[in-house]
Structure 1
């Protein structure tokens, strides 16, 4: 599992650099032909990791219900995000993974509610599956952000 989390941390470092390379206006811009923006994609990967790892394990998440409602699968930006929210999302990039590592080390992930992901039609059966799929999912959204950057 440590290797999987190392991949997640490397992914999150790239997300951090992508956020820091954009202005607030660029983070919020939805280019023509797209349905979301850069900051939505970053918020989405944070929320998704929490849902896949914690909610499906029956554990409390580090993100609020409001954040889940705003960034979960099937949502789209409903207005501009403030700099304070960008900073909060940026902090969650790493604090969520640090907490996941601690909780793994402490054996908190005992149960898992199987879940079939629509992206790959693959059933997640445990926390290891969830974290491996999460890395795949984060890679998809890095690609989306790289596309978005060309138009903002």
Structure 2
């Protein structure tokens, strides 16, 4: 089952990577009316939350540049940015490297209990690394849908 889960993680991330490659840098920062964030923020946010749902939940250090949490963490938005965000190419590299690291970190640990249960914004609690990893796929897909919606608005 572990191999199936890791394969699914690859599949989800492959969809994300194909999308980021198609987005022109010049539209990545447009925040359409009705949205709080842009395409760049959504891709960066995927990286931050994946990191938190795999490493932070176990009390491990995040393996991202420090500014990623400040720019793309939950509750952040581009309107509050005080520094230049990373390019889509840099975010793409982070997303690719992240999956490789997770594939080394996770084997044999999916049933590992979290020191403290993780509760998402909907109040649903997760108790093992496997549960948070699986939830991260749902989270990534939600943000990919948002990216598609923003892209469609910008393109029209």
* CA 1:16–1:57: 2 relative to 1, 3 Å: same
Instruction: Show structure 2 runs of 5+ residues with no match.
Output: none
Kindly report structure 1 stretches of 4+ aligned residues shifted beyond 3 Å: 79-82, 106-111
Aligned residues: 150
Q: What is the aligned-residue RMSD (CA, Å)?
A: 2.2
Q: What is the TM-score when the length of structure 2 is the normalising length?
A: 0.85
Per the alignment, residue 38 of structure 1 pairs with 39
Matching of residue 70 in structure 1 with residue 71 in structure 2: yes
Q: What is the TM-score when the length of structure 1 is the normalising length?
A: 0.87
Cα distance in structure 1, aligned partners of 2:83 and 2:111:
36
Cα deviation per residue 1:64-115 (whole Å; 9 max; x = unaligned)?
3321111111111127856x63222101112111111111237599552211
Do 1:58 and 1:111's aligned partners in 2 also have CA atoms closer than 8 Å? no
* CA 1:32–1:98: 2 relative to 1, 3 Å: same
Per the alignment, residue 128 of structure 1 pairs with 130
Instruction: Show structure 1 runs of 5+ residues with no match.
Output: none
Cα deviation per residue 1:51-70 (whole Å; 9 max; x = unaligned)?
11101101122113321111
